[in-house]
Amino acid sequence: MFKRGILPALLFAALTASTAATAAPPADGTPHLERSGANTRLIVDGKPYLILGGELRNSSTSSFDYMKPIWPRMAAASFNTLLAVTTWEQVEP
């Protein structure tokens, strides 16, 4: 449904854009930014990746039960990337 790890990879690529644009693509297939002339694009699984993104509300990811009805709506909207808030309390209560 959604590619796991795409958001952290995108954030990392954006933060290292100046070095990623001149460096060779990662051998392990990690998503990366690729520069072609004046254009820069995100490459995922060896192909250009167009982000069709959505953003969840702050409390949406608070529990699995809360998210159950939300997943089908996100899939119906044809999103391939979701931005969600994660707080420290969710990671380590």
Query: Residue 85's pLDDT is what?
Result: 81
The domain locations on the chain are: 1-51, 52-93
**What DSSP line would sit under 21-69, residue for residue?**
TTSPPPTT---EEEEETTEEEEEETTEE----EEE--TTGGG-HHHHTT
pTM of the model: 0.53
Check residue 2 and give its pLDDT: 47
Please give the chain's pLDDT, 93 residues, in tens.
Answer: 445 556 666 566 665 555 444 567 788 889 999 998 999 999 999 999 999 998 887 777 777 888 888 889 888 999 988 888 877 877 786
Q: Which of these, 87, 90, 85, 78, lies nearest to 2 by C-alpha position?
A: 78
Distances 28 to 32, 48, 61 between C-alpha atoms, Å: 11, 16, 30
Give the rounded distance of the alpha carbon of 89 from its chain centre.
Answer: 22
